[in-house]
Structure formats: C-alpha cells, structure tokens
Amino acid sequence: MSAAENQQLKQVLREHELKATTQRIALLKLLDATHEHFDAEEIYLELLKKQKNVSRATVYRSLEALAEQDLVTRLDFGDGRMRFERSKGEDEHHDHLICEECGKVIEFFNLEMEAQQLSVCEENDFTPSTHTMHIFGTCSDCKQTP
C-alpha cells in the first residue's frame, strides 16, 4: 500500500546518494508517520511488528547513513540510548523539554535563543554545525501528582 509514498521516499534516498533499500524506505516511512522520539530498539521492534524483515544491525547502520544525510536527527536525552526523529526542513528545527517524571517530550522553537547561540559562536570565532538544547524538568501533568 501507498506505492506513491514508497516512490517518493525512493526518490528522496537517491537524491541523497543512498541506495533505496526496502529497509531504509520502511524506516523512513515509520519515522514520517509520527512525532515520537524512538530509540533504535523501538524502531527495530516496530518494523518487525509491521512484518518488515530487518536486523538490528541494519537499523543502526541505516540510522547512521540517514543521519549523515540529515534525513533523520539523532537526539541524546542523556539516558544512555540515542533517539531519532525525522528531520524536517531547516525552517522546522526545534529543541526539547523533557519531563524527568513521565518521559514526555515537548518540542519548542525560540528564535531569540537561536540568535543568541549564533552570537556566542561569533564572539568565540567558532563555526557551529549542530547544537543540543534540552531542558529537563517536570511537565504540568506531573507537577500536580507528586
């Protein structure tokens, strides 16, 4: 099903000089369908559940290749496992609030903060490539029930 989406993802992969394997297509399709921040094991299990044959090693290798091409973004929430999300356009960059109680992740974007980052880099003659701006704490849901 969704042969059109498959074709489109095949196209995307080739534009980034990546071979369009069924595993990579399935992985991209999975991440495209959600805003969740999966780790590699979760992605592996989801693909199995969807009857896709894939190995753990391929999940890791695919995520590496896709991240290299900025098709997915690696997220490090500091709990020992990397998370991944589908990269949206440059204009859709966002950072994260992470609830330490329930694990909920709230996405946000703050233009002034991004501007301050560039300003700090200039002051230090530093050429930025990526950044992590993660704020840990307690979300509104968890605040009420201590």
- State the residues that interact with DNA by CB under 7 A: 10, 13-14, 18-24, 39-41, 53-58, 60-62, 64-65, 80-82
Phi and psi at residue 122, to the nearest 5° = -60, -50
Cβ atoms 35, 85 nearer than 8 A:
yes
Contact pick of 36, 100, 107, 122 for Mn ion (by CB under 5 A): 107
The least CB distance from residue 94 to Mn ion, in Å, is 6
The least CB distance from residue 27 to DNA, in Å, is 8
Q: Output 78 or 103, the one with its CB closest to a copy of itself.
A: 78
Q: Output 48 or 113, the one with its CB closest to a copy of itself.
A: 113
The least CB distance from residue 112 to DNA, in Å, is 32
Tell me the per-residue interface mask from 70 to 99 with Mn ion, x by CB under 5 A, - otherwise: ---------------x--------------
- Rounded to whole angstroms, how far apart are CA atoms 104 and 95? 13
Strand 72-76 to 38-39 pairing: unpaired
Is 143 among the residues that bind a copy of itself (CB under 8 A)? yes
Place of tokens 């490539």: 129
- Rounded to whole angstroms, how far apart are CA atoms 104 and 57? 28
Contact pick of 68, 70, 76, 122 for a copy of itself (by CB under 8 A): 76
The CA-based angle 139-72-135, given to 5 degrees, is: 25
- Rounded to whole angstroms, how far apart are CA atoms 121 and 23? 39
